[in-house]
């Protein structure tokens, strides 16, 4: 069953800047962003420990905008495929989920 989320103006602006945003609750939510024109979504759960990358309050994107960042212990994930490239999650990857954009909403799952 898919879930639909309305993106706020701030979320759309962040995605337009190439950054990821969380949609839905901190626990059980998703990370959504655009990579080279393609919208991507991942389950918002680090592969090191089952916590949200953004810890419910931070941006899930690293300061330099190049990776998804887990704020708990600093794991870095590639935005294009969710693969962990540094930190205690090495060799693992975020769980990708299908995402479709429809105007100001995204449908996930
Ligand atoms: S919980 Fe994410 S790096 Fe440890």
pLDDT, average across residues 8-15:
97
Secondary structure percentages of the chain, helix, strand, coil, to 5 = 5, 35, 60
Q: Which pLDDT value is given to residue 84?
A: 97
> Is the CB–ligand 1 distance for residue 24 below 6 Å?
no
Cα 48 to middle of ligand 1, angstroms: 5
> Using H for helix, E for strand and C for coil, what is the string for 27-50?
CCCEEEEEECCEEEEEECCCCCCC
Give the per-residue pLDDT at 57: 86
Determine if ligand 1 sits within 6 Å of the CB of residue 88: yes
Looking at the structure, give the CATH architecture of the domain made up of residues 3-108.
3-layer Sandwich (2.102)
pLDDT at 82 over 90: yes
Q: Quick one: pLDDT at residue 108?
A: 97
| Under 8 Å between Cβ of 61 and 70 | no
Ligand 1 pocket, 34 CB below 6 A?
no
Nearest CA to ligand 1 atom 3: 73
Q: What would the mean pLDDT of 24-53 be, rounded to a whole number?
A: 96
* CA-based end-to-end distance of the chain: 6
Whether the predicted pLDDT of 55 surpasses 90: yes
For 75-95, the DSSP string reads -EE-TTT-BEEESTTTT-B--
Between the CA of 51 and the centroid of ligand 1 the distance, in Å, is 7
Question: What's the CA-to-centroid distance between 102 and ligand 1, angstroms?
Answer: 32
Ligand 1 atom nearest residue 73's Cα:
3
Instruction: Please report which helix (H) or strand (E) contains residue 15, including its range.
Output: helix 9-16
């Amino acid at each position: 069953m898919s879930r639909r989320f309305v993106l706020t103006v701030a979320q759309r602006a962040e995605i337009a800047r190439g950054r990821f945003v969380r949609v839905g609750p901190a626990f059980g939510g998703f990370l959504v962003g655009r990579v080279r024109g393609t919208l991507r979504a991942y389950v918002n759960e680090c592969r090191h420990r089952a916590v949200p990358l953004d810890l419910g309050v931070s941006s899930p994107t690293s300061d330099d905008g190049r990776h998804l960042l887990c704020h708990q212990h600093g794991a870095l994930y590639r935005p294009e495929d969710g693969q962990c490239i540094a930190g205690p999650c090495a060799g693992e990857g975020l769980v990708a989920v299908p995402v479709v954009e429809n105007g100001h909403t995204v449908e996930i799952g």
